[in-house]
Amino acid sequence: MMKRAKPSRRGRSRLRLFIVLAGLLILVSLLAPLLCPNDPNATSAAAMNRPPCAEYPFGTDRYGRCVCSRVLMGARTSIFSAVVLVGVTFAVGTALGMLAGWYGGIVDALVMRLADVMLAFPQMVLAIAVAGILGGGMVNAMLAMGITGWTLYARLARAQVLSLKEEPYVHAARLSGLGGWRVLTGTLLPNMLGPLLVTAATQIGVMMIGIAGLSFLGIGVVEPQAEWGSMINASRAYMQLAPWAVLAPAAATIVTVMVFNCLGDSVRDALDVGVER
Amino acid sequence: MAVGRTIGGRLIHLIWIMFAVSFLTFLLMFLAPGDAAAKKLNAQGVAVSEEVLEQTRVSMGLDRPFLVQYGEWALRALRGDLGASYKDGFPVADKLVRALGRTAVLTLSSLSLALLIALPLSVLSALKRDSVIDDVTRLFSFIGNSLPNFLISVLLMYFLSVRLRVLPLTANESVQGLVMPCLALSIPICGRFIRQFRAAILEELGKPYVSGAILRGVRRRYVLKSVLHNVSIPMLTIVGLSVGTLLGGSVVIETIFRWPGLGKLAMDAISNRDYPVIQGFVLLTSTVYVVINLLIDLCYRWIDPRLNESGGEA
């Protein structure tokens, strides 16, 4: 057999490092309004396309708005929307999948056929169509990504319930008089959380890229609300004049996605479950 | 998508899936607020009066029951008639067919490029596990996996077109015009391929028959050959799923580089509120995605004939 890395000390310190980094990013996004050096929405005709200086650390965009402040406020939009979206799809998908696996029959057929159909659409194609027709806005963009997002958790949760259903401790819990709901949440859920959490952790980066992509296309978060994808799109026509207005949100996106992807990887290594996405 | 057990079962599953997909696609139209007749007139820029509105409603069949409307739409779609564009009245199917070729060029070249890089690198990386080559490959794969395709496009444009001026800014017919869109579309997919291929190969290498064969003194070359043969099934699955990513990504890439394919058509339709074109785009791309994955499913039986006897893995 191949050597399989157990959650080593190195693995655990890696996990701790990325939890801290991700926590820092979330903290920055929560405290963004306090950290902004300038008003993110204040335009200034006198300071258009200004290169980075003491007053504007990342320069200004074509309306004279402070790029640094907008990147900070954009962190709020990007990180918040991705984390909330993953949380909601995780909860909905897991609940539906568990119900399908536990009760079987018609519930199972309904939930899983619906999941099959949603998986027949390429995720971004459906998201673009839905967001495009609904017409922009952060909530609509999240809805568009979530329509297919829940299926991952539903399939995983259903498979877990099916494999754990006949375990002696589940029978014991039922024989001791616990109802279906108590067995599901109290006995089964804690035992199947691992792979679900790993999937959720890896999905944060995916959802972040997806929402930024929609905003970049102009059908996600719309101006004047600051979002990295839409900032990159709006500034790319002025790339020759003001490259900082593109490069700053680009760097922010890359760093954030990488931190959350590393977090996902180290959660998987630490829990040692073979979910490969 | 493992539901049907036999080829016939798969086909029945395909029919049911396409029925459901078409129904949801039809429903998309109703997501937009407001009356469909008013939307059509608005897209054409016609002044909306109550009388014209009523006429349009009747001519579009909006006065009939919802399911009848769906039935007629689906029957026409089966015959290849996806309605007329709100914008210019051209048949949607013609527009889609004209754009399909360009998208096929873009997505197929990106897929080939991604496979060309990912296949040798993932094999090398898995065989030389934890070596420098493995580390570098994994780093490349991680970076590729973390970069959104629109970001790669913008960075490529900035460095290659604006700074170095070696490539044209927008895609034209020439091969040079294809370089940046193709790179931008393939880098994230390549990153994911390397990561998943490597994991699949490592899993296969850990199986007892491999160490058995090596201990018996079978040449490593032959062992590797059977490992790669066995691993081709999970690899094909990964490639099949990436088709969805390619089709979604092509919308972004084609919009950025003004590549006149399906994605550009869809984005233009979205900004014009041209709903029949959006529906046609969703229906076509989903059909392509589902059919490709069905074909890949059938390939499994050809790679591993045992799947025919047992009726396939559940």
- pLDDT tens for chain A, 277 residues long, are 344 445 567 778 888 899 999 999 989 888 878 777 777 777 776 667 777 776 777 777 777 787 888 888 888 888 989 999 999 999 999 999 999 998 888 999 999 999 999 989 999 999 999 998 888 788 889 999 999 999 999 999 999 898 888 888 888 888 887 877 888 888 888 888 888 988 898 899 999 999 999 999 988 888 778 889 888 888 888 887 788 888 889 999 999 999 999 998 888 888 765 544 4
CA B236 to chain CA centroid, nearest Å: 14
CA A156 to chain CA centroid, nearest Å: 18
CA B222 to chain CA centroid, nearest Å: 35
Q: Which of B59-68, B241-250, B288-297 has the lowest mean pLDDT?
A: B59-68
Residue whose C-alpha is closest to residue A218's, from A202, A205, A234 = A234
Closest to A254 (Cβ–Cβ): which among B24, B146, B266? B146
Nearest-neighbour CA in chain B from A265: distance (Å): 10
Mutation target among A1, A108, A118, A133 for the B interface, most CBs of B within 10 A: A133
Q: Model confidence over B171-220: pLDDT tens digits? A: 566 777 788 899 999 999 999 999 999 999 999 998 999 999 989 988 88
Q: With an 8 Å Cβ cutoff, are B29 and A133 in contact?
A: yes
Q: Which of A235-244, B144-153, B301-310 has the lowest mean pLDDT?
A: B301-310
Q: Report pLDDT for A86.
A: 95
Q: A212 and A264 in contact (C-beta within 8 Å)?
A: no
If you average pLDDT over every residue of chain B, what do you get? 85
Whether the per-residue pLDDT at B14 is higher than 50: the answer is: yes
Note the ipTM here: 0.86
Q: Model confidence over B20-57: pLDDT tens digits? A: 999 888 888 877 776 667 777 777 776 677 777 777 77
Q: With an 8 Å Cβ cutoff, are A113 and B20 in contact?
A: yes
Q: A222 and A136 in contact (C-beta within 8 Å)?
A: yes
Q: Report pLDDT for B60.
A: 73
Task: Name residue A82's amino acid.
Answer: A
Q: How many CA atoms lie within 13 A of A11 on its CB side?
A: 14
Q: Which of chain B's residues have a Cβ under 8 Å away from the Cβ of A2?
A: 202, 205-206
Domains of chain A: 8-31+66-268 (1.10.3720.10)
Pick the CATH number of B92-272 from 1.10.8.60, 1.10.3720.10, 3.40.50.300, 3.20.20.70: 1.10.3720.10
Buried b (16+ CB within 10 A) or exposed e, A71-108: bbbbbbbbbebbbebbeebbeebbbbbbbbbbeeeeeb
Q: Which of chain A's residues have a Cβ under 8 Å away from the Cβ of B157?
A: 236, 239
Closest to B20 (Cβ–Cβ): which among A117, A135, A232? A117
Q: Which of chain A's residues have a Cβ under 8 Å away from the Cβ of B20?
A: 113, 117, 120
Residue A48 three-state SS: coil
Nearest-neighbour CA in chain A from B206: distance (Å): 5
As given in the structure block, the two tokens for residue B90 are 């051209």
Q: With an 8 Å Cβ cutoff, are B32 and A134 in contact?
A: yes
Q: With an 8 Å Cβ cutoff, are B247 and A122 in contact?
A: yes
Chain B residue nearest residue A246, CA to CA:
B154
Q: Which of chain A's residues have a Cβ under 8 Å away from the Cβ of B155?
A: 250
- Which backbone phi and psi does A50 adopt, to 5 degrees? -75, 135
pTM of the model: 0.87
Per-domain boundaries in chain B: 92-272
Q: A5 and A11 in contact (C-beta within 8 Å)?
A: yes
Residue whose C-alpha is closest to residue A113's, from A99, A98, A100, A126 = A100
Residue B313 confidence class, pLDDT cut points 50, 70, 90 = very low
In angstroms, the CA A92 to CA A96 distance is: 6
E strand or H helix that includes residue A254: helix A244-271
Q: B153 and B184 in contact (C-beta within 8 Å)?
A: yes
Q: Across residues B56-70, what is the average pLDDT? A: 76
Largest CA distance in chain B: 86
Q: With an 8 Å Cβ cutoff, are A1 and B206 in contact?
A: yes
Region class of B297: left (phi > 0), else alpha (psi between -120 and 50), else beta: alpha
Nearest-neighbour CA in chain A from B207: distance (Å): 7
Q: How many CA atoms lie within 13 A of A113 on its CB side?
A: 17
Q: With an 8 Å Cβ cutoff, are A117 and B24 in contact?
A: yes
Q: Which of chain B's residues have a Cβ under 8 Å away from the Cβ of A205?
A: 146
Whether the per-residue pLDDT at B266 is higher than 90: the answer is: yes
- Which backbone phi and psi does A166 adopt, to 5 degrees? -95, 10
Buried b (16+ CB within 10 A) or exposed e, B74-85: beebeeeebbbb
Q: Report pLDDT for B80.
A: 83
